[in-house]
Structure 1
Amino acid sequence: MSDTRRRLLDALAAADGPVSGPELADRLGVSRAAVWKQVEALREAGFDVASDAAGYAVRGVPDYGADAIAYGLDAPYAVEYHDRLPSTNDRARELAVEGATDHVVVAGEQTGGRGRLDRPWSSPPGGVYASLLVRPDRPPAHVPVFTLAAAVAVTRACREAGVDAVIKWPNDVLLAESERKLAGVLTEMEGEADRVSWLIVGVGANVDVAAEALPETATSVRAAGGVADRRRFCQRVIEAFHGLDPEATLPAWRDHAVTLGREVRVETPGGVVEGEAVDVEFPGALVVRTDDGDRVVHAGDCEHLRPA
């Protein structure tokens, strides 16, 4: 998406009524012919853009796509959309190598989606598959907090869609009642000893997906009775992630966590840790109270051993 297109979308979304061609041209620093060309491109993309003597006004927005997600998006990200991709994280990595930042790669469907530990991630049509590319001024040791921030962002989007979502440490978003999986987060990065070069936070969320298209252990916003609006869901994830300061992430994560207070079994690179999950520590480590004292687990595969 061109910078001119994004600024035009922002101007139209912020307007209370029609905006004249000359006013848009002046705001965007382009000719009136360029404004008309971009408006026609929006119409071809599915926007209902009315025009009369007073100017241009958006009356309808397409269900999904780059322009639809960018329209009214309250976060400074460029949006790239593909109907189908092997992996949005892989495409975001290509953009990172090219020097891009503050980009979101979105796919209508993934053919090679993956989760943590390289597990396959079911990515049928109707889900929200998005990878956010950022370059935070942080050391690599702080990267786990961005994974937790993404889990909080997805949980908030689910709740705004009418679904009671909770977080299982570190990054699985579950339906509270059944603890079936609604979404997951996969974070990748490249950096030096003291600085992150780039960070990609990939989100896979089951939004407008029928229950029969998902594994038995999963569910979707639609199947749980929520509002399955992929466009708004994707926007809310991006906005919530962008607006969440790393220092505020852990309190927000605790508010949504279902793991704390539970008996857990965590498979870590150094062995199994079993006990009661009692807290999280910055940048996202789980504190497990065992018979031998508290253990701080920085990475591992967590299993809940008893119901909430």
Structure 2
Amino acid sequence: MAMDDTRVRDQLIEAFVNAEGPISGEELSHRFGLSRTAIWKHIKSLEPLGFVIEASPRVGYRAVHIPDELMAPLVRPHLPPDCLLGSPILWEASRASTNDTALELAQKGLPHGAVITAGEQTGGRGRRDRAWASPRGGMWFSVFVRNPCPLRHAPDLTLLAALAVCRALRHEGVPVEIKWPNDLLIRGRKTGGILAQIRAEGELVDHAVIGIGLNANFPIDLLPAEIRHRATTILHETGRPIHRPKVLARVLTELDRLYRDLRDGRGFQVVYDEWIALCSTVGQEVEVAVGDERLRGKAREVLPDGSLVLETSPGVTRTVVSGEVLFSDREQV
């Protein structure tokens, strides 16, 4: 879809969202500077996206159903005016990877706060380049930030993003927890993950792409059969869908506040106690991947710098700055 068509699409959706009643084709034609035939074609193009637009002769068009896609005109009404994240929001029905798109656009001057979203991903991935199933109904998005922090604090981006998602979902009554450092669990089963990719200039992070994937409003049988014993969806666990644009707006609002603290030198330490209270890893027997090495032991604590202290044998500990918890005795694996 060309950019001009995208702009018309979003403005047309915004018109239907704000309308108190039917909108005549003549009014839309005048507002957009397009023929009534062109307006009709743009309205018809919304139907494959899940919009149901009712047309009545001599009355006009009325939106009977508006889907909860992560599109700019559906998310922005829920964002506070001072939020620096979410402008622009670039949605497509399908992308290979929102992170890949953000990294490509970064080379073309993508502004701070831009959010790349998709109805589905055909090439989604997690840590260690693993494939990530990303069907329609999930939340697949990447947040682009510039100059967030010194390089030594780059791991904070993942930790803070996990907290922002937890805050947003728990506000909706979803009992989500964090598995150090970047997974989101419900009752021990994975429902989301975070992949932060950065570009550094010397000792400073020039920009970062924070990719977030959430198994939200789709049935669990859309996940690959081989992972259903350890993965889940919000719909499956709670029995109800979440309003995805509203949840995305809340994630962006929370992440914006946390980002500002990080940029000002107050990072993970400021929210350490809250993060620890949400972390399911501490106290569990775990296996941790550190590069090609595998470590087993009890997760004793997460330090204020975000690193994990692992007791590998009685009285012997190892501090893991960057790694991945492959499993814990609390998870259903």
Q: Tell me the TM-score normalised to structure 2 length.
A: 0.72
The whole-number CA distance in structure 2 between the counterparts of 1:110 and 1:270 is: 28
Q: Aligned residue for 1:303?
A: 326
Please list, as runs of the form range in 1=range in 2, the aligned pairs for 1:1-308 lying within 5 A after superposition. 36-37=31-32, 62-64=67-69, 65-74=71-80, 75-76=83-84, 77=86, 78-100=88-110, 101-176=112-187, 179-214=188-223, 215-216=227-228, 217-224=230-237, 225-244=239-258, 245-246=261-262, 247=267, 248-269=270-291, 271-290=293-312, 291-307=314-330
Give, as a single letter, the amino acid of the residue that structure 2 aligns with 1:135.
R
What is the DSSP-based 3-state SS (H/G/I as helix, E as strand, rest coil) of the residue aligned with 2:116?
A: strand
What is the DSSP-based 3-state SS (H/G/I as helix, E as strand, rest coil) of the residue aligned with 1:145?
A: helix
**Comparing 123-132 with 231-240, which one deviates more in the overlay?**
231-240
The whole-number CA distance in structure 2 between the counterparts of 1:207 and 1:86 is: 19
- Which consecutive residues of structure 1, in runs of 5 or more, have no partner in the other structure? 19-32, 49-57
Change (3 A) 1:83 1:117: same
1:116 and 1:186 in contact (8 A); partners too: yes
2:307 and 2:319 in contact (8 A); partners too: yes
CA deviation string 1:94-152 (max 9, x = no partner): 22111222100000000000000000000011000000000134122211111011111
Give, as a single letter, the amino acid of the residue that structure 1 aligns with 2:98.
T
Change (3 A) 1:305 1:205: closer
What is the DSSP-based 3-state SS (H/G/I as helix, E as strand, rest coil) of the residue aligned with 2:122?
A: coil
Q: Aligned residue for 2:58?
A: none
What is the DSSP-based 3-state SS (H/G/I as helix, E as strand, rest coil) of the residue aligned with 2:197?
A: strand
Q: Shift of residue 173 of structure 1? A: 0.3
2:196 and 2:211 in contact (8 A); partners too: yes
2:78 and 2:246 in contact (8 A); partners too: no
1:150 and 1:185 in contact (8 A); partners too: yes
**Identical positions, percent:** 33
The whole-number CA distance in structure 1 between the counterparts of 2:245 and 2:231 is: 21
Give, as a single letter, the amino acid of the residue that structure 2 aligns with 1:138.
C
2:281 and 2:328 in contact (8 A); partners too: no
What is the DSSP-based 3-state SS (H/G/I as helix, E as strand, rest coil) of the residue aligned with 2:120?
A: coil
CA deviation string 1:5-57 (max 9, x = no partner): 89xx7xx99xxx99xxxxxxxxxxxxxx9x9449x99x957699xxxxxxxxx
Q: Which runs of 4+ in 1 moved over 3 A?
A: 35-38, 43-48, 58-62
The whole-number CA distance in structure 1 between the counterparts of 2:305 and 2:208 is: 15
Give, as a single letter, the amino acid of the residue that structure 2 aligns with 1:184.
G
- Which consecutive residues of structure 2, in runs of 5 or more, have no partner in the other structure? 1-5, 21-27, 54-62
Give, as a single letter, the amino acid of the residue that structure 1 aligns with 2:176.
A
Give, as a single letter, the amino acid of the residue that structure 1 aligns with 2:89.
V
What is the DSSP-based 3-state SS (H/G/I as helix, E as strand, rest coil) of the residue aligned with 2:100?
A: helix
The whole-number CA distance in structure 1 between the counterparts of 2:251 and 2:306 is: 19
The whole-number CA distance in structure 2 between the counterparts of 1:302 and 1:188 is: 19
CA deviation string 1:207-227 (max 9, x = no partner): 111111014121111111244
Give, as a single letter, the amino acid of the residue that structure 1 aligns with 2:135.
P
What is the DSSP-based 3-state SS (H/G/I as helix, E as strand, rest coil) of the residue aligned with 2:235?
A: coil
Q: Tell me the TM-score normalised to structure 1 length.
A: 0.78
CA deviation string 1:227-268 (max 9, x = no partner): 422212222221221122342343332121000111222121
Change (3 A) 1:141 1:282: farther
Change (3 A) 1:288 1:158: same
2:99 and 2:211 in contact (8 A); partners too: yes
Q: Shift of residue 158 of structure 1? A: 2.4
